[in-house]
Amino acid sequence: MDAHRRQLVSLAGPVYAQFLTFVAAGIVNTVWVARLGGPAVAAVAMATTAENVLLGVALVFGSGTTVLVAHARGARDPAAVRAAVRGGWTLCALVTPVVAVGGFLLREPLARLGLGEGAAVPLAAAYFAVSLPGIAVFFAQQLVDGLLKGAGDTRTPMRLSLLANGLILVVDPWFIHRYGVQGAAVSTVLCRCAALAAALVAVRRNPVLREAARRPGPAPGAVRRTLRTGLPMSADFTVRQAGTLALVAVVARLGVTEAAGYAIATKVMFLATMACYAVRQAAAIHTAHTLGRGRDERRAIGRAAVQVSGAAGLAAAVLLAALAPWLMAVFDAEPEVTGAGVLFLRCVGPYLLLMACFIALGGVFEGSGGAGALLRVTVVGTAVQLPLAYGLSGLGLPGVCLAMALAMGVQGALAAVLFRRRARQEEETGVSLAGVG
């Protein structure tokens, strides 16, 4: 294993563990809420989905700050680190009140938008009454995570995630038993507050961030740079989420059984896709840190990222195909639903392998300032996937899987062409294209 692969694995491992804690906490939360009845489950599911959408907003300052801090760290420029930190915090402070206050005031219309009418609507509104003001803590967490990761520390965010979600596992049952659906929101916000307090201490102790804090002076254009860097990453995430939601609608045309099997199978598949996104984060951080070392270095990082993520994707495809019946049996669904999920997991392998390679290469784009180009590739891929899935849905779930693989193949091919073109332009002009989307 060469130096780049070792570094990527070292950075990606803690990120993947952090992702897994989110999943575990969400599953346990759902188990306890399920005891309150179907409307409670529907309310919490809708409310937590809304939070996933808001993660796209947090990526503007969270991921943008990660890349800028990593750039400055690689250049050994404490003043630039300080400017990146200030830009991240300022942008977070500007966005948070709009989302928190606006969301609180619109909590009931939001609940009706997601659930229509029925017993789940007031429950979702009650959850939003706590969770949306509490989004300030979530946003601050995302920013602090971004600061630490940009400084090269992915282990501390992992430990903080373990702390927050570990506390949720412990206190959730009591709050839910005592306060119902709203108790789940209270528990989540309080546990995140504890983790955020520990995170702020970690930031003060980090040598890269502490050294930058000692350098006083203005940081002109800091917010603009953060916005310019993070906005394409946020838009990329949002487009992917929208495409995923639209694909659910296509699958629903096949019938309730197929839709239910698909829904469960995608949760299982998420365990694999998270590993690829962990490599993507690692590639973005590592690329940003080594930005001044030339195109050959980025090519090497790109190859290493594709190798690491591709190996994970291949292993996941094989394991999911082999273990599909046992994995689906865990959810104790009806036999027809289980059968549909098994079929999907056994057909989705080519998509997983192609997705793993594309997602990993995307990290190099993000770390080198090419997130805008990556966004265009994502838009094209989503535009290709949906009509393909609609047209091939006559073949059932295998047709949907084929459409997903073909669309991902298009995205991977476009990303590879853009990657080579950017390297060639750099070679011809003799200057770095970082920051040019």
Torsion of CA 82, 88, 89, 94, to 10 degrees: 140
Asked whether residue 382 is domain-assigned, the answer is yes
Q: Average the pLDDT over 398-416 and give the result.
A: 91
pLDDT value of position 213? 62
331-336: Cβ within 8 A, 24+ apart:
331/264, 333/260, 333/261, 333/264, 334/257, 334/260, 336/257, 336/261
Residues 210-234 pLDDT 10s = 776 665 555 567 888 888 888 888 8
Inform me whether the pLDDT recorded for 433 exceeds 50.
Answer: no
pLDDT band at residue 34, thresholds of 50, 70 and 90?
low
Residue 216 sits in the same domain as residue 233: no
For the residues of 21-55, what is the DSSP string, one character each?
HHHHHHHHHHHHHHTT-HHHHHHHHHHHHHHHHHH
Q: Are 360 and 276 in contact (CB under 8 A)?
A: yes
Asked whether residue 371 is domain-assigned, the answer is yes
AA identity, residue 345: L
- Rg of the chain (C-alpha set): 22
Which residue has better confidence, 28 or 327?
A: 327
Q: Identify the domain boundary among 220, 241, 275.
A: 220
Residues 240-251 pLDDT 10s = 877 876 787 788
Q: Distances in Å between the alpha carbon of 409 and those of 11, 31, 402?
A: 27, 37, 10
Give the helix/strand (H/E) hosting 16: helix 3-34
Q: Are 360 and 296 in contact (CB under 8 A)?
A: no
Residue 150 sits in the same domain as residue 174: yes
Q: Average the pLDDT over 317-321 and give the result.
A: 91
Please tell me the distance from the alpha carbon of residue 228 to that of residue 437, in angstroms, as a whole number: 10
Residue 199 sits in the same domain as residue 286: no
Asked whether residue 420 is domain-assigned, the answer is yes
Which residue has better confidence, 9 or 351?
A: 351
Asked whether residue 97 is domain-assigned, the answer is yes
Residue 199 sits in the same domain as residue 233: no
Q: Average the pLDDT over 128-142 and give the result.
A: 91
Q: Average the pLDDT over 46-55 and give the result.
A: 74
Report the interhelical angle of 135-150 vs 78-105 (nearest 10°). Answer: 160
Please tell me the distance from the alpha carbon of residue 230 to that of residue 154, in angstroms, as a whole number: 19
Q: Average the pLDDT over 84-91 and give the result.
A: 88
Asked whether residue 383 is domain-assigned, the answer is yes
Q: Average the pLDDT over 365-388 and give the result.
A: 85
Inform me whether the pLDDT recorded for 435 exceeds 60.
Answer: no
The domain in which residue 150 lies consists of: 1-220
Greatest Cα-to-Cα distance within the chain, rounded to the nearest angstrom:
67
Residue 162 sits in the same domain as residue 68: yes
End-to-end CA separation in angstroms for the chain: 31
User: Cβ contacts of residue 305 below 8 Å, gap of 6+?
Assistant: 8, 279, 280, 282, 283, 360, 361, 363, 364
Residue 342 sits in the same domain as residue 317: yes
Pair of tokens at residue 21? 């804690």
CB atoms within 10 A of CB 432: 16
Q: What percent of the chain has pLDDT over 70?
A: 88
pTM beyond cutoff 0.75: yes
Q: Identify the domain boundary among 220, 236, 259.
A: 220
Residue 376 sits in the same domain as residue 311: yes
Q: Identify the domain boundary among 200, 220, 240.
A: 220
Q: What is the DSSP letter of 432?
A: -
Residue 240 sits in the same domain as residue 173: no
Domains identified in the chain, total number: 2
Inform me whether the pLDDT recorded for 64 exceeds 90.
Answer: no
Phi-psi region at 216: left, alpha or beta (left = phi > 0; alpha = psi -120 to 50)? beta
pLDDT band at residue 437, thresholds of 50, 70 and 90?
very low
Asked whether residue 376 is domain-assigned, the answer is yes
Inform me whether the pLDDT recorded for 394 exceeds 80.
Answer: yes
3-state secondary structure of 254: coil
Inform me whether the pLDDT recorded for 384 exceeds 70.
Answer: yes
Asked whether residue 42 is domain-assigned, the answer is yes
Residue 279 sits in the same domain as residue 346: yes
pLDDT band at residue 424, thresholds of 50, 70 and 90?
low
Mean pLDDT of the chain: 82
AA identity, residue 92: C
pLDDT value of position 43? 75
Residues 166-198 pLDDT 10s = 888 888 888 888 888 888 889 989 999 999 999
pLDDT value of position 292? 59
Q: Are 341 and 358 in contact (CB under 8 A)?
A: no
Please tell me the distance from the alpha carbon of residue 279 to that of residue 271, in angstroms, as a whole number: 13
Q: Average the pLDDT over 383-410 and give the result.
A: 91
CB atoms within 10 A of CB 202: 17
Residue 208 sits in the same domain as residue 85: yes
Inform me whether the pLDDT recorded for 423 exceeds 70.
Answer: no
Return the top range by mean pLDDT from 32-46, 155-169, 240-254.
155-169
Residues 106-121 pLDDT 10s = 888 888 876 667 777 8
pLDDT value of position 367? 81
pLDDT value of position 266? 80
Return the top range by mean pLDDT from 72-81, 262-271, 342-351.
342-351
pLDDT band at residue 432, thresholds of 50, 70 and 90?
very low
Residue 172 sits in the same domain as residue 85: yes
Asked whether residue 437 is domain-assigned, the answer is no
Residue 216 sits in the same domain as residue 323: no
